[in-house]
Amino acid sequence: MPQIAIPAPSLPQNHDAIYITNSSNRGRCVHAIQNFPSRHKIIVEQPAISCVHWRQGKWMRTIGDEWEKRSVEARLRLQQTFKKLEDIPSDTRLTKQERKQLNKFVKEYAFWDSKGTNAHIYRLASHINHACARHANAEQWTDSAYPNYITVRLVKDVRADEEIFINYNKGHMPFGCPFCVPRSDKPRAENKGNGSFG
Ligand SMILES: [Zn+2]
């Protein structure tokens, strides 16, 4: 190969850059499709659904409302993406119990913007597992402004099929870094929330 400077080909993002697998003990996992250099923005996407952050006091009502506002088709699409939504009805009003289930889902899967006012769930990024700051190979931030893109950028070189990990930035979590703690047999515990540094 001639050693001349050629512009780097633009690297794929989103569905062309990652794939999602099911692990037996950690829920869904996100992997790189090919080798990527550090600093590549591997995912840039808009939320699949958003609601008011529960710390704002109104969220108990809001995620259920957001769900009911969606068309049946849109709700079915969300259910295909998120296994945890399978039991939520797609064509009727929600019961109190179902609203509770939705709240729990948001707590596990949402990222919130830097102002902590809104919680966003992303089709791809919300499936990324946690690792400690030392072992995470990617970082993320969520735009406070509409349309609330999340950006997931690699902080290490990543090889094809390697799993992507981010640090959720939560002070206390019921699950640990898979590289630092012995694997437990428990399924991936209550996931997410994050923090953001955007
Ligand atoms: Zn670790």
> Which amino acid would we find at residue 100?
K
Distance 120 CA to ligand 1 centre (A): 26
* Helix H or strand E segment including 104: helix 96-109
pLDDT digits (tens, 9 = 90+) for 84-126: 999 999 989 999 999 999 988 998 899 987 777 889 999 999 9
Distance 32 CA to ligand 1 centre (A): 19
| Ligand 1 centroid from CA 167, angstroms | 9
- What is the whole-number distance in angstroms between the Cα of residue 164 and the centre of ligand 1? 13
Rounded to 5°, the CA angle 175-157-128 comes to: 30
Distance 14 CA to ligand 1 centre (A): 25
How far, in Å, are 16, 17, 52, 160 from residue 113 at the CA level? 25, 24, 10, 30
Q: 49: which 2 tokens?
A: 């659904």
Could you give the domains of the chain? 14-166 (2.170.270.10)
Q: Are 38 and 155 in contact (CB under 8 A)?
A: yes
Give me ligand 1 centre to Cα 139, in Å.
14
Q: What are phi and psi of 153, to 5 degrees?
A: -115, 135
48-85 pLDDT, tens digit per residue, is 999 987 777 655 568 899 999 999 999 999 999 999 99
